[in-house]
């Protein structure tokens, strides 16, 4: 018996994903995601993040997810194929992805606790630059960064927004985090830092009333932020499944050679 005998099927609301779901309707005795050994996710990277966050929100042990790309980029997905799902699941290569635990304190004093699988970013809300203080493990490492924003990315998310902001690509399993500025003004030449993933990072908005800042944890935004605290959440590891020829670690490594 396969270790992934009880399977759930979830699909993005886009027409291509819904059409693929209809093709797979008779491919298995699908069960509810809460009862599944594995989830088959049809869509793009955004839908994959939604699927993973839904499992984190349920507070139950997350089950592995095998995604098939019916979106645009599909970096976190496998190739869409109608046939051969049993064989593919029998030969998958699993990868552990550790989310960030993000605590956001708003200027009104309210606290928001959110997970982030790819990254958490702080962004200016108005025409004025944000002024941010950065602390690592209780030590102030940058008293004032004037910028459009800053982000903290995991290895799995290092090829997303982080790469677009000229941040480093982090190999999966490197036990590192990327701290990357977004359009830094002062200090102008600071290009960010690579930190051990045991680090605790705190980012405070200086003069938040005059220079308001928002925080975005993957797809969830909180506005008018005073402080953001970031650390790895090792108690809530996620598992992504990939075809051996489409493995996530190799894809992240090869991104470094794309011109």
* Cβ atoms of residues 239 and 158 within 8 Å: no
Q: Indicate left, alpha or beta for 124 from its phi (over 0: left) and psi (-120 to 50: alpha).
A: beta
Task: Give the β-pairing of 111-116 and 100-106.
Answer: antiparallel
Q: Is 249 a catalytic residue?
A: no
Q: Which residues pair with 37 in a beta bridge?
A: none
Rounded Cα distance between 63 and 50, Å, is: 14
Rounded CA separation 195/152 (Å): 10
Answer yes or no: is 247 a known binding residue. Answer: no
160 is in an annotated binding site: yes
Would you say 245 is a known binding-site residue?
Answer: no
> Which one is catalytic: 29, 32, 45, 243?
45
159 annotated among ligand-binding-site residues: yes
Judge contact between 152 and 177, C-beta under 8 A: yes
Task: State phi, psi for 139 to the nearest 5 degrees.
Answer: -115, 125
Residue 134 · residue 145 · CB < 8 Å: yes
Neighbours of 111 (CB within 10 A): 10
Please tell me whether 37 is known to bind a ligand: no
Annotated binding-site residue? 45 = yes
161 is in an annotated binding site: yes
Q: Is 163 annotated as a binding residue?
A: yes
Distance between CA atoms of residues 178 and 162, nearest Å: 8
Answer yes or no: is 199 a known binding residue. Answer: no
By C-alpha distance, which of 171, 178, 125, 179 is closest to 148?
Answer: 125
Phi, psi dihedral angles at 32 (to 5 degrees): -65, 145
State yes or no: 180 annotated in a binding site: no
Residues forming the annotated binding site? 45-46, 118-119, 148, 156, 159-164
Residues forming the annotated binding site for NAD(+)? 45-46, 118-119, 148, 156, 159-164
**Catalytically annotated residues:** 45
């Amino acid at each position: 018996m396969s270790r992934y005998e009880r399977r759930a099927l979830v699909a993005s609301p886009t027409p291509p994903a819904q059409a693929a779901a209809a093709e797979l309707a008779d491919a298995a005795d699908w069960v509810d995601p809460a009862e599944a050994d594995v989830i088959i996710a049809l869509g793009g990277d955004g839908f994959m993040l939604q699927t993973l966050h839904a499992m984190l929100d349920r507070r139950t042990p997350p089950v592995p997810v095998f995604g098939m790309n019916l979106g645009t980029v599909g970096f976190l997905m496998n190739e869409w194929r109608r046939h051969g799902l049993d064989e593919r699941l029998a030969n998958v290569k699993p990868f552990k992805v550790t989310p960030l635990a993000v605590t956001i304190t708003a200027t009104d004093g309210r606290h928001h606790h959110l997970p982030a699988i790819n990254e958490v970013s702080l962004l200016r809300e108005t025409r004025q630059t944000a002024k941010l203080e950065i602390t690592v493990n209780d030590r102030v490492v940058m008293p004032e960064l004037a910028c459009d924003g800053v982000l903290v990315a995991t290895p799995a998310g290092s090829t997303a927004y982080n790469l677009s902001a000229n941040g480093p690509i982090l190999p999966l399993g490197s036990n590192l985090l990327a701290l990357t500025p977004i359009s830094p003004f002062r200090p102008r030449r600071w290009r960010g830092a690579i930190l051990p993933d045991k680090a605790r990072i705190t980012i405070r908005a200086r003069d938040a009333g005059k220079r308001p800042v928002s925080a975005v944890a993957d797809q969830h935004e909180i506005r008018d932020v005073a402080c953001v605290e970031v650390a790895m959440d090792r108690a809530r590891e996620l598992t992504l499944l990939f075809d051996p020829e489409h493995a996530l670690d190799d894809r992240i490594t090869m991104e470094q050679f794309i011109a």
